[in-house]
């Protein structure tokens, strides 16, 4: 059961957006996420996006489920994150969230506006405070030594290696159509696009890092949690949400003391 009534909608359920969703859910906010029908998720082991095709996923104890609009409120009451297929703005129009966060990174298409919610937070350089959002938060850079694998052509993906696997230079990682993708360096495969995803040439396909542990592939990054902390602080201190946050906190205190909240 959420502690706060302010609904948060996060656009993009990749590793960064999922880190925010985890942090906000743990803090007591109801969270809904939107994604593409075929999510382009690299770090799928720490992302809620894959529940679009796996129906449900658990990341560090928090459950996310693929949902339709009509199912959202029941799932939120169970403490679950709802993830909806929506590349556009239908979910915003239907749910009227108190907070909208655009965490789509490279895949942003510029359709988030400052009018989408009382508080709109944009992650990354595509946003300008006062223009298309109320608050801009920088996206942390990739971990040092991370090598990004790019699709060599247009086609459908087929995984050969697995996330968390330590691979040698030259090892076969995946195929895109009839073209092989091999590891340019030795290291741990920390990200890989799922099977049966249509990619275009030059799209991000995977991540290899020679300087991380296998277990790092299955935990939310410190960088994502830090951004989540900044987002949480922004929400709690946003003047346009002050009455809603205060009311939720007051009702929580009354409930804890056994006092019946005022209608």
As a whole number of angstroms, the distance between CA 181 and CA 170 comes to 9
Residue 263 lies in a domain: no
Tell me the sheet residues that pair with 179.
176
Supply the CATH number for residue 56's domain.
Answer: 3.40.50
User: Which DSSP letter does residue 133 get?
Assistant: B
Residue 262 lies in a domain: no
Tell me the sheet residues that pair with 204.
150
Same structural domain, 198 and 110: no
Same structural domain, 213 and 226: no
Same structural domain, 85 and 208: no
Same structural domain, 202 and 252: no
- Say what the pLDDT of residue 242 is: 87
Same structural domain, 237 and 175: no
Structure tokens that stand for 31 in this block: 């969270």
Same structural domain, 31 and 97: yes
- Say what the pLDDT of residue 250 is: 47
The answer to whether 41 and 190 are in contact (CB under 8 A) is no
Structure tokens that stand for 209 in this block: 């890092």
Supply the CATH number for residue 192's domain.
Answer: 2.40.50.100
- Say what the pLDDT of residue 186 is: 97
Dihedral of alpha carbons 126, 132, 133, 134, sign: positive
Structure tokens that stand for 98 in this block: 């108190």
- Say what the pLDDT of residue 107 is: 63
- Say what the pLDDT of residue 252 is: 46
SS3 105: helix
Q: Report residues of the chain scoring pLDDT below 70.
A: 1-2, 106-107, 246-263
* Burial of 153 from C-beta contacts in 10 A (0-12 / 13-18 / 19+): middle
What does 87-99 look like in DSSP terms, one character per residue? SSSHHHHHH--SE
Residue 3 lies in a domain: no
The answer to whether 200 and 151 are in contact (CB under 8 A) is yes
Residue 162 lies in a domain: yes
Q: How many domains does the chain have?
A: 2
As a whole number of angstroms, the distance between CA 159 and CA 176 comes to 9
Structure tokens that stand for 166 in this block: 């330590």
- Domain range enclosing 155: 147-217
Same structural domain, 46 and 71: yes
Same structural domain, 133 and 180: no
- Say what the pLDDT of residue 141 is: 81
Identify which of 75, 55, 56, 64 has the alpha carbon closest to the alpha carbon of residue 10.
64
- Say what the pLDDT of residue 262 is: 44
Residue owning tokens 């949902």: 67
Residue 171 lies in a domain: yes
Residue 2 lies in a domain: no
As a whole number of angstroms, the distance between CA 44 and CA 193 comes to 8
The answer to whether 153 and 205 are in contact (CB under 8 A) is no
Same structural domain, 65 and 169: no
């Amino acid at each position: 059961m959420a502690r706060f009534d302010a609904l948060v909608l996060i656009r993009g359920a990749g590793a960064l957006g999922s880190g925010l969703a985890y942090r906000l859910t743990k803090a007591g906010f109801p969270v809904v996420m939107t994604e593409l029908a075929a999510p382009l998720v690299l770090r799928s082991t720490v992302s809620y996006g894959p529940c679009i095709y796996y129906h449900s996923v658990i990341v560090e104890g928090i459950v996310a489920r693929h949902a339709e609009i009509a199912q959202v409120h029941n799932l939120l009451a169970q403490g679950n994150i709802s993830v909806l297929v929506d590349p556009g703005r239908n979910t915003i129009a239907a749910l009227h969230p108190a907070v909208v966060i655009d965490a789509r990174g490279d895949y942003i298409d510029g359709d988030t506006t400052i009018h989408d919610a009382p508080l709109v937070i944009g992650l990354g350089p595509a946003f300008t405070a006062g223009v298309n959002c109320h608050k801009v938060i920088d996206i942390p850079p990739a971990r040092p030594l991370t090598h990004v694998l790019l699709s060599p052509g247009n086609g459908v993906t087929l995984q050969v290696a697995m996330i968390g696997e330590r691979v040698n230079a030259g090892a076969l990682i995946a195929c895109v159509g009839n073209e092989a993708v091999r590891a340019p360096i030795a290291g741990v495969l920390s990200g890989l696009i799922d099977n049966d995803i249509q990619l275009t040439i030059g799209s991000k396909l995977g991540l290899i890092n020679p300087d991380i542990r296998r277990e790092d592939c299955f935990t939310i990054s410190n960088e994502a949690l830090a951004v989540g902390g900044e987002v949480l602080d922004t929400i709690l201190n946003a003047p346009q949400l002050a009455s809603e946050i205060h009311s939720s906190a007051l009702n929580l205190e009354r409930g804890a003391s056994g006092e019946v909240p005022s209608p």
